[in-house]
Chain A
Amino acid sequence: MATITVNKDSVWNGGQEPMKASYGKLMMWFFLLSDAFTFSALLITYGTIRFMNPAYTGPREEFTFSPNYWPIPEKVYEAIPFFHGVSAPLVFVGIMTFILILSSVTMVLAVEAGHRMSQKEVEKWMLWTIVGGFAFLACQAWEWSHFIHGTDEGTVMNDGTVFHGANLIKNQYGPPPFANLFFFITGFHGTHVFSGVILNIIIFYNVVMGVYERRGHYEMVEKVGLYWHFVDLVWVFVFTCFYLL
């Protein structure tokens, strides 16, 4: 049998990892880089369209919704489940942010447990991450539902009719692009969260079946972990653009 001799002196001869990361992990990084470009494009679009539209200039206390100017975010997102009519500005999105950060923490604890080859702990933390992902998706479903159905009062539109909630053509909160961008960008992020949860479930199944225990390392947990943290990272930016600025 012929033996292939690899010159280990040069990184250019193959068989080495010059970046001290496996092929799969590097490719996950570059995929996330490209995804970062996509999300940046969407958020910059939000920024430019927002500043193309007139802003509300009057005092904050007298703010009312109108299709003629961009709304103040905390006046739009002020509802919380089970407390109908109670004004709690940004409380619900604050809870959503916290859920996503915590699920990122449990993910990183799963990766840490994987380094110690502790199957039971990886299972535990992966499961918590999946629970966090579903909790976030449930919150977003409620948020969307509230956004679509609108407030009891609705808004008097420019044609004199009262309109409740939002669709892609008109909405009670502000100019039509406001709702369109909300649906598209939070929807695109939500799709990422959803696919992240699916990936986490697949990896969780493999962990439980002992696939990585037999393989000798838990690197797959690290790879989906990178994706999951990225979803959290994007939310940090979406949160700033939509709810704070």
Chain B
Amino acid sequence: MAHTEQAQHQGGGMKNPVVKRLITVTIYLSLLTALEFVIAFLQPPGLLKNLEFGILTIFKAFYIVGEFMHLKHEVKSLIWSIMIPMAFIVWFIVALLAEGGSH
């Protein structure tokens, strides 16, 4: 991994590009969570509100899996091996919600 060797010569402090990136991601995650709180208290309940929570959660998941778990920087075949089976979860949600809504 190129950036690992690059980081080898630097310390663990703020000058290290990897650490810098991680701090940026942490700030993003905190801001997204804060935004969720604002929405929770200010917006009246409804489909739109739930949709916003859903989107914000997906964004948080993207940062955690992509940056913290490093998946974004893995080879393509590994990324797809993990992401394609996720389609089953989407199918699962659609199937059960459709089933639940028919009563």
- A-side residues, CB < 8 A to B, are 18-21, 26, 29-30, 33, 36-37, 40-41, 44, 47-48, 51-52, 72, 74, 89-90, 94, 97-98, 101-102, 104-105, 107-109, 112-113, 115-116, 118, 121, 225-226, 229-230, 232-233, 236-237, 240, 243-245
Contact = CB atoms under 8 A, between A and B. Distances in A.
A19 B75 contact: yes
A48 B100 contact: yes
Given A21-B78, A47-B97, A236 B19 contact: no
Interface residues of B, number: 50
Interface SS of chain B:
helix
Contacts of B1: 115
B53 A105 contact: no
Contact of B4 (A104, A115, A232, A243): A115
Interface string B17-57: 01100100010011001001101110001000010011011
A108 B50 contact: no
Contact of B30 (A98, A116, A230): A98
B19 A101 contact: no
B97 A48 contact: yes
Contacts of A33: 82, 85
A74 B77 CA distance: 42
A237 B40 contact: no
